[in-house]
Structure 1
Amino acid sequence: MKYGAYLFDLNGTVIDDMHFHGRAWKKILSELGADLTYDEVVLQMYGKNAELLERVFGAGHFSDAEVEKISIDKEKAYQEAYRPEMKLIDGLGAFLEKAHQAGIKMAIGSAAIPFNIDFILDNLNIRKYFDVIVSADDVDKSKPHPQTFTKAADILGVEYSKCLVFEDAPKGIEAAANAGMDAVAITTLHPEEDFFRYSNIITFIANYSELELL
């Protein structure tokens, strides 16, 4: 088998929840005075929450304590809205079990904070599939920097070229490319044309229903 490890982003890749994040961010940013359309908000939704706020408002606009409060308020709003709709992307449960039975190592590599990662993994009872979890708190540099994925691979003990990344965001695909890793692009939020510049994508999927082990 070509790949010894599967590295999964979380939001938009394990669950189809990015529209809930978008609506939560749109409301928060509007309340803070940012005049952005929903589509403009979506373009800013990568990396850590603090980095998003800095991109929108500029460096130093908020204190560290204010950033922390804004971040938690946003995540609580997202969780409240998404909880009744929470489910794995179609076919992923069977795909994870198949990969687990085949002995493929798996990790989560996400820009989400542990508060959100725990919310998903524990409510959906899928923590058992992931040997390693790399969150926003575990890296100095966010995607498209490769650190999220290279750190996961290093802990798993798998060569970068033998890791396959599952991502829904162009910046995540770029992070995989920067790590020397192939990727599967999930089109939950972004259409295929948004990924045109990346040559490391081996396939596009809308869900995991017909995806075989790679």
Structure 2
Amino acid sequence: MRALYVTHPQVAMDANVPVPLWGLSPQGQARAKAFAARGVVPVGAMIFCSRETKAMQLADILAEAAQTLVLSDHLMGENDRSATGFLPAALFEEAADRFFAHPDVSMEGWERAIDAQTRIVDTITTALASVPADTPAVFCGHGAVGTLLKCHVAGRKIARREDQSRHGNRGGGNCFAFDLAPARLGGEWQAMEDFAPGWFDAVRRH
């Protein structure tokens, strides 16, 4: 089943608001709307997203352009970092490095990377089971769990070098195409501005 994973672009950060409630910033909204306008998401595609505000806002923008509905599931959410709450950029980067470097260990109470990977893979597998044949599936989500999914599909070790910040736009708004059965990665993270329409039809012909 061919699918596309897209991360939310830039968000309006607010240390006084829980991270899952952060929404897209004006820049993030503009990027999402430009991506939708390019027709990368085919009309009639099934769109899934986490229940975090930023992912739902991205999904709604894509769904409007694709004339379809959105199905949301909290199990598609980002790795649980509530134990530490908001971290300034430098501290967050240090924590993220540790999260990926030691996937079997909880980083100061964070959800372990290995557990987050199992959760996102299982949830997407279940979602894809509901998608009719030859219907594109699009998942709107987050950088860390998206990277963990990418590692699983590619059969690679969990590592920070696989993160979207190492390949695409550091502000988010990146994507990759993939299959789960058989497991096949369509490419590395690409900024949504660089991802070409026709990804579903192009691979379906092979």
What's the TM-score bracket when you normalise by the shorter of the two chains?
Answer: 0.3 to 0.5
TM-score, length-scaled by structure 1: 0.43
Q: Select the structure of larger CA radius of gyration.
A: 1
TM-score, length-scaled by structure 2: 0.44
More helix by percentage: 1
